[in-house]
Chain A
């Protein structure tokens, strides 16, 4: 291991309350100090990001009476990446009466995360899940309904109960529009100041506490300083370190990374989720990948030809010459195995030379049998939208020929380390939604990210932030203070340095090469030699970036290429931490598969004896190895077991 080890410090106190797990959140809320209603107006929260986490947090804090300023990169808060979520949102309502409970959602999430999440946090998530649905319905979110008028549920992502609420294939859109409407209401009431087309470039630390941010106004190019009493990062995940992913193009690690450099530990960066059902890459110009909801695996069967390089069209390959490899390897779960398992199995077949399509990096997802059984009308009713989107992108008709799918980067479980209050190791800096590491361990279950973002924003941070405001003596702060000036100068200098390089290579070409390296060597499967190679490569690429990048030189107005350059520069630094983390964790768990740690039949082998911890990395200066701190994970309620889907 290359990183210097230092003993766990007092700063890694997760602050989880003790006692019976179902009483912890109640007890904690009672123990938190309250802010006097008359004083709330005096406190100012800076909320960076307007996805589900940021929009719900900003709206709720404004509702409580705090002053709030929110920032987002897009031209409107409604366009945050959350808008693209398709499948649904979980809650333990047990409306279908099929055996669900808060405890079961808690249990499934801890187990699904492969025992790498904190029990107290996950239990709380399951507890507040029900309020989220109530709250969203009250906001006017048009969830799917039954004829009698009650809410409809479906089973999702292999769960054995139907606990997923949905709004057609646009659940994320409808939830975000709900949270956005709550936010905009308070923009209208004047409690929230909205700053769109702003990119946060630094957190300002005063007396050891996060007290402000520096942003670049993306339209004017101006640097702006904002002072407040707390900073909430709700800036999403870093999946775009792989260049190709299902994330929106603006998704980045910049906000989290800059905060990391100011003292916030980064936890489990190597935990990334690869989603099994995405439309495969079609050419070198490919700019992003499109997810096909995993609900398709309820009716589609996944297969490849048994014969290598079989050139026949799929319809000409008889059943006995098809390898339904998920059904073969996992007879009891079949096509419904969890995401990480399905993804690796597809990769294994393609690596072994059985892939299909022009690139050979695809497997079939075939509706033939379901179409025969249920008819095309029934299939259209269930999946019409998705199949149409597939046809639009590929020009192939999935009712006639099997779809071609391949795994793609989808979600990042890693993120800034937070305690039970969602506060990072930098006091006053809270981290919500996909940007934190808290609840999903090494693997996230379908329909749980939307739940977590809204839990954090609507129901957790409104309490815990009060503890920060009331519990700490916060001296008055002004954006003219020297710390603000210094942060602005640092951000400005970095941008100017990028503009000054004047090299020959475009930002996009660096980003693509980084993505390719990470995908090949730190993607679905990792090994020590590959990771070492990746590290060397990333370092060389980063050095080249600072010598040879070419960005059209105009920092004083809208310059999308410059924005991209800043994000890629941060990805190039962050990638190394991801690699270090993947190197250090020599076990396989969840989305992190170390080839050295597998069973004889190729399944992941977890190592609880040595790796039952969250890895929290401390920045020790540029060019210095980051220091690893371990937060031990103890399981009082859910006994760790090896996952088996056979």
Chain B
């Protein structure tokens, strides 16, 4: 990192992009090559795609579709596999926070969508991640409602536990864990939510039901099994730990052991 104030962005780079283009879910996709002559090291990766798209539109071509919104690493919308890595080469960084200074003049970069059966391609680099929402609807909540809550400080949560819950709750739901997993498993995503709520007193009453319903929903969506590759943790831009998976397995086992018929009946909250 340079310590100089007012860095110079005058230097520009030539970058070759190989981008996955696919017109729709039922069309065949292919890699297309684009050459960019004037990439500033200060651009974000998505800004570079913006520049490409401006050019494609001007030339009468179809711009590359990709999901994005906050562009500051928190909404979880952006979702690109760059040179085989979900969110690209930088650890703990979503692709919207990746900057072109990471690359050098003359580089070739491959850009693809998340690949998983449970995340079908919508168009180009955009995939359908609604499976995550359905898993959440199955149990990723505390069943309470406005008006019912007691005073917030009536529930004491020791700081270390609150911190651990927050570590798990930091998941942005981007799906990089699925994209990185050789089995396209959603274990890290589900585990993060189960672990977040299981560590708080508020989550305790529904512990069993939550673990069972979310895991069942995950299986129903067609995500693969976890076989302990831990690629998910390496790809996770928020550093969600695989310890959460161990915790979820414990939660699931505990729930399955104590499963009573009523516990799984889909009362739905």
**Chain A residues within CB distance 8 Å of chain B:** 56, 59-60, 63, 74-79, 81, 83-84, 93, 95, 131, 133-140, 142-151, 167-168, 170, 172-174, 177, 180-182, 184-190, 194, 196, 219, 248-250, 282-283, 285-288, 290, 313-314, 356-358, 389, 391-397, 400-402, 404, 458-459, 462, 504, 506, 508-509, 550-552, 554, 557-558, 560-561
Residues of B within 8 A of A143 (CB): 152, 162
**Does B77 lie within 8 Å of A181, measured CB to CB?**
no
Q: Identify B268's interface contact among A63, A188, A290, CB under 8 A.
A: A188
Residues of B within 8 A of A508 (CB): 50, 54
Docked Cα-Cα span, A76 to B77, in Å, equals 9
Docked Cα-Cα span, A188 to B170, in Å, equals 23
Quick check: is B70 within 8 A (CB to CB) of the other chain? yes
**Which residues from 47 to 68 on chain B have a C-beta closer than 8 Å to any C-beta of chain A?**
47-48, 50-51, 53-54, 57-58, 60-63, 65, 67-68
Within the complex, the shortest CB–CB distance from A358 to chain B, in Å, comes to 5
Q: Identify B57's interface contact among A93, A135, A144, A506, CB under 8 A.
A: A506
Q: Identify B71's interface contact among A170, A181, A182, A288, CB under 8 A.
A: A288
Interface string of B76-96 (1 = CB under 8 A from A): 110000000000000001000
**Does B6 lie within 8 Å of A358, measured CB to CB?**
yes
Residues of A within 8 A of B227 (CB): none
Residues of B within 8 A of A391 (CB): 1
Docked Cα-Cα span, A552 to B5, in Å, equals 41
23 CB < 8 A contacts A-B:
A75-B67, A134-B149, A135-B146, A137-B202, A139-B202, A142-B196, A145-B157, A147-B159, A148-B156, A148-B158, A170-B170, A173-B170, A181-B142, A182-B141, A189-B268, A194-B133, A313-B5, A392-B99, A395-B2, A395-B7, A508-B50, A508-B54, A552-B62
Q: Identify B75's interface contact among A63, A83, A404, A558, CB under 8 A.
A: A83
Residues of A within 8 A of B157 (CB): 142, 145, 149
Quick check: is B31 within 8 A (CB to CB) of the other chain? no
**Does A248 lie within 8 Å of B71, measured CB to CB?**
yes
Q: Identify B152's interface contact among A76, A151, A172, A504, CB under 8 A.
A: A151
**Does B159 lie within 8 Å of A145, measured CB to CB?**
yes
Within the complex, the shortest CB–CB distance from B252 to chain A, in Å, comes to 19
Docked Cα-Cα span, A56 to B69, in Å, equals 21
**Does A401 lie within 8 Å of B142, measured CB to CB?**
no
5 nearest CB pairs, A to B: A149-B156, A188-B137, A181-B141, A134-B149, A138-B149
* Closest Cβ neighbor of A79 among chain B residues: B75
Q: Identify B76's interface contact among A79, A170, A400, CB under 8 A.
A: A79
Residues of A within 8 A of B159 (CB): 145-147, 149
Quick check: is B72 within 8 A (CB to CB) of the other chain? yes
Within the complex, the shortest CB–CB distance from B269 to chain A, in Å, comes to 5
* Closest Cβ neighbor of A313 among chain B residues: B5
**Does A356 lie within 8 Å of B6, measured CB to CB?**
yes
Quick check: is B43 within 8 A (CB to CB) of the other chain? yes
Q: Identify A560's interface contact among B51, B65, B70, B101, CB under 8 A.
A: B65
Docked Cα-Cα span, A396 to B9, in Å, equals 13
Residues of A within 8 A of B142 (CB): 138-140, 181
Residues of A within 8 A of B128 (CB): 75
Could you say which of B24, B97, B145, B149 has the most chain A C-beta atoms within 10 Å of its C-beta?
B145
Within the complex, the shortest CB–CB distance from B63 to chain A, in Å, comes to 6
**Does A219 lie within 8 Å of B122, measured CB to CB?**
yes
Within the complex, the shortest CB–CB distance from A162 to chain B, in Å, comes to 14
Within the complex, the shortest CB–CB distance from B266 to chain A, in Å, comes to 8
**Does B169 lie within 8 Å of A76, measured CB to CB?**
no
Quick check: is B262 within 8 A (CB to CB) of the other chain? no
Docked Cα-Cα span, A557 to B7, in Å, equals 42
* Closest Cβ neighbor of B266 among chain A residues: A188
A186 with B130: in contact, given A285-B51, A395-B99 (CB under 8 Å)? no
* Closest Cβ neighbor of B97 among chain A residues: A392
**Does A313 lie within 8 Å of B130, measured CB to CB?**
no
Docked Cα-Cα span, A495 to B159, in Å, equals 53
**Does B42 lie within 8 Å of A282, measured CB to CB?**
yes
* Closest Cβ neighbor of B129 among chain A residues: A75
Quick check: is B153 within 8 A (CB to CB) of the other chain? yes
Interface string of B1-36 (1 = CB under 8 A from A): 111111111000000000000011000000000000
Residues of B within 8 A of A394 (CB): 7, 42
Within the complex, the shortest CB–CB distance from B56 to chain A, in Å, comes to 8
**Does A196 lie within 8 Å of B130, measured CB to CB?**
yes
Quick check: is B185 within 8 A (CB to CB) of the other chain? no
**Does A189 lie within 8 Å of B269, measured CB to CB?**
yes
**Does B146 lie within 8 Å of A63, measured CB to CB?**
yes
Residues of B within 8 A of A357 (CB): 5-6
Quick check: is B255 within 8 A (CB to CB) of the other chain? no
Quick check: is B113 within 8 A (CB to CB) of the other chain? no
**Does B268 lie within 8 Å of A137, measured CB to CB?**
no
Docked Cα-Cα span, A281 to B53, in Å, equals 21
**Does B150 lie within 8 Å of A75, measured CB to CB?**
no
Residues of A within 8 A of B138 (CB): 188
Residues of A within 8 A of B144 (CB): 135, 138-139, 182
Residues of B within 8 A of A397 (CB): 1, 3
Within the complex, the shortest CB–CB distance from A581 to chain B, in Å, comes to 28
* Closest Cβ neighbor of B39 among chain A residues: A285
**Does A392 lie within 8 Å of B6, measured CB to CB?**
no
Quick check: is B203 within 8 A (CB to CB) of the other chain? yes
Quick check: is B109 within 8 A (CB to CB) of the other chain? no
**Does B72 lie within 8 Å of A389, measured CB to CB?**
yes
Interface string of B104-141 (1 = CB under 8 A from A): 00000000000000000011001011101100111111
Residues of B within 8 A of A145 (CB): 157-159, 162
Docked Cα-Cα span, A509 to B136, in Å, equals 39
Residues of A within 8 A of B203 (CB): 140
**Does B200 lie within 8 Å of A140, measured CB to CB?**
yes
**Does A506 lie within 8 Å of B58, measured CB to CB?**
yes
Within the complex, the shortest CB–CB distance from B29 to chain A, in Å, comes to 14
**Does A402 lie within 8 Å of B43, measured CB to CB?**
no
Given contact pairs A147-B159, A173-B74, enumerate 8 new A-B contacts (beta carbons under 8 Å): A79-B77, A95-B153, A131-B147, A149-B158, A182-B141, A190-B268, A356-B5, A551-B57
Residues of A within 8 A of B202 (CB): 137-140
Residues of B within 8 A of A174 (CB): 166, 169
Docked Cα-Cα span, A161 to B157, in Å, equals 24
A167 with B166: in contact, given A248-B75, A397-B1 (CB under 8 Å)? yes
Within the complex, the shortest CB–CB distance from A29 to chain B, in Å, comes to 12
Residues of B within 8 A of A63 (CB): 145-146
**Does A287 lie within 8 Å of B123, measured CB to CB?**
no
Residues of B within 8 A of A288 (CB): 71-72
**Does B72 lie within 8 Å of A552, measured CB to CB?**
no
**Does A395 lie within 8 Å of B57, measured CB to CB?**
no
Within the complex, the shortest CB–CB distance from B235 to chain A, in Å, comes to 18
**Does B69 lie within 8 Å of A81, measured CB to CB?**
yes
Quick check: is B40 within 8 A (CB to CB) of the other chain? yes
Residues of A within 8 A of B133 (CB): 76-78, 184, 187, 194, 196
Docked Cα-Cα span, A60 to B144, in Å, equals 10
**Does A185 lie within 8 Å of B63, measured CB to CB?**
no
* Closest Cβ neighbor of A316 among chain B residues: B5
A287 with B47: in contact, given A150-B156, A181-B136, A395-B7 (CB under 8 Å)? yes
